[in-house]
Amino acid sequence: MRDYTQLNGLALAYVGDAVYEVYIRDYLVENGQTRPNTLHKMATHYVSAKAQAMLMEAMLATDLLTEDEKLFYRRGRNAKSHTSAKNADVTTYRVATGFEALMGYLHLTKQQDRLDELVAWCIAKVGESNEGK
C-alpha cells in the first residue's frame, strides 16, 4: 500500500481531475442528459477551470474544509505546472489545480463519504449559480 499523502500536487490533481469528471458525467446522465453535445456543454459548467476555481473559493469562504483538506488544496495550487489552461488565467488555473488535487487526495485516501459530500455540495453550488442564467 502506497502512502498517497506523499504524492505531489500535480499527481493528485491528475487523479482528481478524472474522479471529479466521472462524478459530473454520472450526475448529468442520471438526470436524463443523453446527447453528447449537450452533455459536454453542461459538464463545462462544473469542470472548467473557472468553475472549479469558483467552487474552491466558495468552499474556503464558507470554511467547509478541514485543515488537512486545505493543505492538499494548497499543495495542488502551489505546484509548478509547465502547462496552462486554454481558457483561464494563471491564478484561476492554479486554484482549479488545487481543487483537483483535493479531489484526488480524498479519492486516493479512500475518504469516499467526504468526497461524495463535497461533490454533492459542488453540484448544488453550480446549480445555484446557474439559476439566474
* pTM above threshold 0.85: yes
Instruction: End-to-end CA distance of the chain: give it in Å, rounded.
Output: 46
Taking the alpha carbons of 128, 40, 14, 107 in that order, is the dihedral positive or negative?
positive
Give CA separation, 118 vs 25, 114, 115, in Å: 16, 6, 5
The residues, ordered by sequence, that sit 6+ positions from 54 with a Cβ below 8 Å of its Cβ are: 129
CATH code where residue 114 lies: 1.10.1520.10
Catalytic residue among 17, 63, 68, 116: 17
Number of domains making up the chain: 1
Between 84 and 7, where is the model more confident?
A: 7
Which residue matches cell numbers 494548497?
Answer: 74
Neighbours of 1 (CB within 10 A): 3
pLDDT in tens, 94-111: 999 999 999 999 999 999
Reported confidence tier of residue 12, pLDDT bands at 50, 70, 90: very high
Domain range for residue 69? 4-130
pLDDT in tens, 19-74: 999 999 999 999 998 898 889 899 999 999 999 999 999 999 999 999 999 999 99
Catalytic site residue 63?
no
